[in-house]
Amino acid sequence: MTIHIRDATADDLPAIARIASAAFHPATDAIAARLFPTQLQEQDSTRDNDIYSWRYAKKTASLSSPDAVMVVAIDDALPLSDQVVGFGLWDVYEDKPKPAHNTYTQTDSEKAANQPRSTVQEVPPPSFDQEANKDLDYLGVDPRHQRKGIGRMLLDWGLSRAASVNKDCYLMATPAGRPLYTKRGFEVVRTVPIFGVPHHSMVFRHGN
């Protein structure tokens, strides 16, 4: 297994959406379960298609956002169609002058992604900079390739980038994700319940 990290492209979006749908499925993820409740769909296949379409729209919007960076983990040993085995989505806030006029226009995909599926809104994760609103949006690893160190590689990519600009890193961890971040040196700032499940606001301080 030879894994490397590179910037995501539009060609990677189907694989990223597929991984996000599988790794954060309503059957195993509390937030996804509230966004896609079983009673709204009569057939699991219909719901799964709906989940994939929504994930695809969200990732398309993120890829085109000037304040987000998306990377993918690639396994060169796999067939070309299966080489994307994970992804990382980071919110990046850099010191740059604000334009005199807002020249950024939402695409159709962004508009679709921002439409709430229900009264439940996604919880914004915390950032590369303490003054920013968020940092590590989330990591996703193909369930078929978990426990191979891919999540750690994706996390280290972001930590290295943050270190290069002397920034701290912030994130909101699920109970399942917390051990990875704790082992890497993140500290719990506070714990908040989300849909009855404790989630942990965590920070990795530059210089740790």
Residue 113 belongs to some domain of the structure: no
- Give tens-digit pLDDT for 50-61: 899 999 999 999
Nearest-10 Cα torsion for 46, 87, 64, 52: 0
Residue 47 belongs to some domain of the structure: yes
What is the residue range of 56's domain? Answer: 3-94+124-204
Residue 157 belongs to some domain of the structure: yes
- Give tens-digit pLDDT for 129-168: 444 444 778 899 999 999 999 999 999 999 998 888 888 9
Edge-to-edge strands, sheet with 3-7:
3-7, 68-75, 84-91, 136-141, 169-173, 197-204, 187-194
- Give tens-digit pLDDT for 162-197: 888 888 999 989 888 899 999 999 999 999 898 888
At 166, which CATH number?
3.40.630.30
Residue 90 belongs to some domain of the structure: yes
Residue 141 belongs to some domain of the structure: yes
Domain count, the chain: 1
Residue 167 belongs to some domain of the structure: yes
